[in-house]
Amino acid sequence: MRSNSSSSTTPTDAVGKTETFAELLARVQACTVCAAHLPHPPRPILRVSPTARLLIVGQAPGRRVHETGIPWNDASGDTLRQWLGITRETFYDVSRIALAPAGLCYPGTVKGSDLPPRPECAPLWHPPLRAAMPDIRLTLLIGAYAQAYYLGKRRGRTLADTVAAWRDFAPDYFPLPHPSPRNRLWLKRNPWFEQEVLPALRERVGTALAAGDNEAVHP
Ligand code: SF4
């Protein structure tokens, strides 16, 4: 977990006192709320900073990410960067892009498939993290769990319905399928995604990242 600032303040913590960004991160890092349900001791994996403009909300760390501590450092991440039209360097520039999945710790697997993110996690940590990142212009919701938490009943009947209706969630959110190699069939069955949605996504991401370049630096 990284932050490029320790002096910014967030609105309040759970007991209502003002806390710094670093203090909030320390609370996240120390979280053991669902430890009894995890296969390993909790290891929240996220990259956030108070100046981030784009927030990417995925599902939950897989085993490799849990072991390395680097989110999206895999084939899914390569595809995601290609979708977004950005380099690894930009993707991992925590001053501009925040990475925080719906479940921050590796939830384990069952029969070779990753378990869903722990349901306690997003309601517990996303509100304070978002409040501590006031410059977020756009939030990418990757996969059904991120969409369920952020869009609730506004979601479509299927993930394809939700993604196809991406305009309905602008300007704050952009729903996407998971870029996992396991989703190649979905992409093949839904060619409109690459043809119509990706160009719009790249434009929105470029605008979000460019926003603020000519503005005063956030205090
Ligand atoms: S998954 Fe979330 S709620 Fe559970 S221990 Fe990790 S940080 Fe805490």
Q: Residue type at 160?
A: A
- Say if CB 75 and CB 181 are below 8 A apart: yes
Give the containing element (helix H, strand E) for 22.
Answer: helix 21-29
**Per-residue pLDDT tens digits of the chain, which is 219 residues long:** 444 443 454 445 544 568 999 999 999 999 999 999 999 999 999 999 999 999 999 999 999 899 999 999 989 999 999 999 999 999 999 999 999 999 999 999 998 888 999 999 999 999 999 999 999 999 999 999 999 999 999 999 999 999 999 999 999 999 999 999 989 999 999 999 999 999 999 999 999 999 766 554 443
In contact, 46 and 39? CB cutoff 8 Å? no
* Cα angle: 167, vertex 199, 211; to 5 degrees: 75
For residue 107, give the ligand 1 atom closest to its CA: 1
Give the pTM. Answer: 0.91
Q: What are the Cα distances from residue 72, in Å, to 79, 81, 101, 210? A: 10, 9, 10, 22
pLDDT value of residue 212: 66
Residue nearest to atom 3 of ligand 1 (CA): 121
Query: Using CA atoms, how far apart are residues 76 and 203, in angstroms rounded to an integer?
Result: 21
pLDDT at 37: 96
Please give the radius of gyration of the chain, using alpha carbons only, rounded to the nearest integer: 17
Contact 42, 111 (CB under 8 A): no
Q: Quick check: 171 and 136 in contact, CB under 8 A? A: no
Distance (Å) from CA 201 to ligand 1 centroid: 30
Quote the DSSP letter at residue 195: I
Ligand 1 centroid to Cα of residue 44, in Å, is: 6
- With a 6 A CB cut-off, is 34 part of the ligand 1 pocket? yes
pLDDT number for residue 81: 98
